Amino acid sequence: MLFRSINAKVIIIDEAPHKLYMGYQNLQADLYLAGDTNATLRLLVEAVKAEKISPSKLKERKDKWSAAHERLEEKRRNAEAEAKKKSGITPVLLASTLAEGLPGNTIYLDETTVHGGINRRHVGNQGPQSYIAPRSGLGQGMGISAGVKLACKDRPVTLLVGDGAFLYNPAVQTLGFARDEKTPFMTIVYNNKGYRAMRENQRSYYPGGLGEQHKLFYGEPTNEFAYEDVAKLFGGHGAKVSDPAKLKSTLQTAAEAVAGGKSAIVNVDLID
């Protein structure tokens, strides 16, 4: 689903914009361009240049969107500054510390649900093919991470996953494969002690309802265990962290283990 702006025209460029094999698509576009994406974008750039838009108009538009971008950046910086004042580890602190502490060529696999937007804002754009977000169902993250590492052996791979989604993943099989095929990767467990998406969806559909009144959210509780210990079963590195002061060093130690050929799981206790 696209989030529409009343002042924008939405154009979808794809080799096959309408996926006939899908039972449901909610694209909401004004125009569909079927064809090779790279070739279409090159032709579009040539067409725009041929229009010979006035330099003053270009400057006006550039200034407008530069200012809008700076407002977003200021909001991001303020959120990160506030996160550092908290007594525990917030999702914003975790995401910004990943961006600061891990190698700049890291490929991030994002299988979080409620924290996806935070990751995109605070892990940030680390360059081409640095962020992959599988969205067709939970439980794929670890397998895809091993596959991405197999394809990009010279780059570190880090999976971002909630504690609930972690339980969907075939951790035993994937860590065994990663050990035997020498495709080590790091898993960061965003541990908020439950299927938070289940709770937030109930609150969204039934605000002030019985579930919220009685703090009873069916489907949210999980049977927590030491997720980090699973990596150790396969000769990997496991760590748990709840102290913000130790977060960066814990992540960097895990990254060093992965660079040395061991898969790692870091279980991060979140406070919200």
pLDDT digits (tens, 9 = 90+) for 220-263: 888 889 999 999 999 999 999 999 999 999 999 999 999 999 99
Measured CA to CA, the distance from residue 67 to residue 197 in angstroms comes to: 34
Tokens of 59: 């400057």
State the pLDDT confidence band at 194, using cuts at 50, 70 and 90.
confident
11 close to 31: Cβ distance less than 8 angstroms = yes
pTM: 0.85
Residue 2, pLDDT above cutoff 70: no
**Residues shown for the chain:** 272
- Cα-Cα-Cα-Cα dihedral sign, residues 90, 92, 97, 102: positive
| pLDDT computed for residue 216 by the predictor | 85
Beta strands in 133-247 (DSSP E): 157-162, 186-191, 237-241
224 close to 236: Cβ distance less than 8 angstroms = no
| pLDDT computed for residue 131 by the predictor | 95
State the pLDDT confidence band at 3, using cuts at 50, 70 and 90.
low
Residue 5, pLDDT above cutoff 70: no
Average pLDDT over residues 134-163: 94
Residue scoring higher pLDDT (181 or 218)? 181
40-52: per-residue pLDDT in tens? Answer: 999 999 998 898 8
Residue 6, pLDDT above cutoff 70: no
| pLDDT computed for residue 125 by the predictor | 87
| pLDDT computed for residue 218 by the predictor | 84
C-beta neighbour count of 155 within 10 angstroms? 14
Share of the chain above pLDDT 70, in %: 98
54-88: per-residue pLDDT in tens? Answer: 899 989 999 999 999 999 999 999 999 999 999 99
| pLDDT computed for residue 93 by the predictor | 98
Residue 1, pLDDT above cutoff 70: no
Measured between alpha carbons, how far apart are the two ends of the chain, in Å? 27
| pLDDT computed for residue 92 by the predictor | 98
| pLDDT computed for residue 99 by the predictor | 96
Measured CA to CA, the distance from residue 110 to residue 123 in angstroms comes to: 11
| pLDDT computed for residue 145 by the predictor | 97
Residue 187, pLDDT above cutoff 60: yes
Residue 205, pLDDT above cutoff 90: no
**Mind giving me the DSSP string for 96-108?**
HHHHHHS-TTPEE
Measured CA to CA, the distance from residue 41 to residue 14 in angstroms comes to: 11
Average pLDDT over residues 165-172: 95
Q: Print burial letters for 92-129: b (CB count within 10 Å at least 16), e (below 16).
A: bbbbbbbbebbeeebbbbbbbbbbeebbebbbbebeee
